[in-house]
Structure 1
């Protein structure tokens, strides 16, 4: 299911296109609200924020309350870690912030899953899905997996749109680096790629690391997505 939405996010050329892809993805998993936020350095030494969400207007004041944000256990988790979090009322109770959950629950934010990516050059991306219906334990792993996959594509799209007015230089990858990316795109491991190319697993891993470095990525999956955007993997 996620593949169609991933492709739509990657193909987005405007904020409206990406917003549509993000909202449709959230709805396909049964979530009522969604928020995709990127933080990138600005030219004046500060940071530029770009958010795509469908938060209720009445919730905006609470959403942007910095004092509460510094106490919110979900936000604190996302700021420090890239591991997805599945949260509910107990998450806030255990953190001594039960009143924060009660305040957001009035707007339907009772249960959710969220993930964050902390990329090179002080770039951060957060994707959160929220609902007022309990998330079944049997569905949790599937939902998290689909969200993580979509997040890779959405973060690339939103970061590209945030820098729409700047020019991106296409990196120059070697033939082996492109091959490593290509076979990764096909779902091959480093060992399998090495066997296909007739090189050692260590060498295959080095080619991937070099490609990731040139593409400014900290994961091989993000490197594949960025290479597709640049037209390196046709």
Structure 2
């Protein structure tokens, strides 16, 4: 079974990164498209606590455009990413009506991308384990993108999940330290990271507010944290919540 088929499995042993990217290009060629990207974003909870947001991009876009895009942090203003973060459903994009709601600076990202043949596309947001993931297929021709998804949409959707899963598997795995936190302490910190008060956390966990404070104080002590918010930030950094 090939990429995009329900029974698809990458060749074993797992393909190296370059081989898999070449497989994606070959797959897209059958539909008249040549470019794709896979983007991964950090968990919003980490950003809410002041941790720097992370953005990873894997693509076969022109190297100059990929370098410019990342170097200028266009991911922070890209209209495609803004839509993906709010709708979380697959969508077409391109110039014209799609860009009308966005500011001039955001539209300029599109104008620059046009110089590299990235004019129209279809993006599939994916709820990954660590945050939002976004697979995008592009072309310089609107009809090519529309025809590909009107005739082979299900196959391209399945391929997007295969791409995300395989590229994730090819990433070096981060070793997570064994946590000293109890399940209750971890759950309390998760809700702190979501911005809840002790009373609100108590209602979520069906315990008393004093019990919540007890768990949070213990967690802060174990992490040598200044307060509950600092404890939640430290636990996120260590991947304990």
**Bin of the TM-score, shorter chain as denominator length:** 0.5 to 0.7
Q: CA RMSD in A?
A: 3.3
Corresponding residue for residue 151 of structure 2:
142
Structure 2 distance, partners of 1:38, 1:68, is: 14
Residues 84 and 116, structure 1, Cα contact 8 Å, conserved in 2? yes
Aligned residues: 164
Corresponding residue for residue 77 of structure 1:
83
Corresponding residue for residue 126 of structure 1:
134
Aligned 1:60-139 pairs, distance under 5 A = 60-64=66-70, 68-90=74-96, 91-97=98-104, 98-120=107-129, 122-135=130-143, 137-139=146-148
| Partner secondary structure for residue 118 of structure 2 | coil
Residue deviations 1:88-109 (CA, integer Å, cap 9, x gap): 1021234244433222111111
Aligned in 2, Cα 1:15/1:125: closer, same or farther, shift over 3 Å? same
Given the two structures, how large is their TM-score scaled by the length of structure 2? 0.55
Structure 1 distance, partners of 2:36, 2:11, is: 14
Given the two structures, how large is their TM-score scaled by the length of structure 1? 0.57
Aligned in 2, Cα 1:139/1:53: closer, same or farther, shift over 3 Å? closer
Corresponding residue for residue 33 of structure 2:
31
Structure 2 distance, partners of 1:5, 1:20, is: 20
The alpha carbon displacement at 1:80 in A equals 2.9
The alpha carbon displacement at 1:163 in A equals 3.8
The alpha carbon displacement at 1:26 in A equals 2.3
Q: Which runs of 5+ in 1 are unaligned?
A: 168-234
| Partner secondary structure for residue 64 of structure 1 | helix
Structure 2 distance, partners of 1:88, 1:113, is: 9
The alpha carbon displacement at 1:81 in A equals 3.2
Q: Please identify the structure whose Cα radius of gyration is greater.
A: 2
Corresponding residue for residue 7 of structure 1:
9
Corresponding residue for residue 162 of structure 1:
171
Structure 2 distance, partners of 1:52, 1:105, is: 19
Residues 41 and 133, structure 2, Cα contact 8 Å, conserved in 1? yes
Structure 1 distance, partners of 2:134, 2:169, is: 15
Aligned in 2, Cα 1:139/1:157: closer, same or farther, shift over 3 Å? closer
Structure 2 distance, partners of 1:145, 1:126, is: 16
| Partner secondary structure for residue 109 of structure 1 | coil
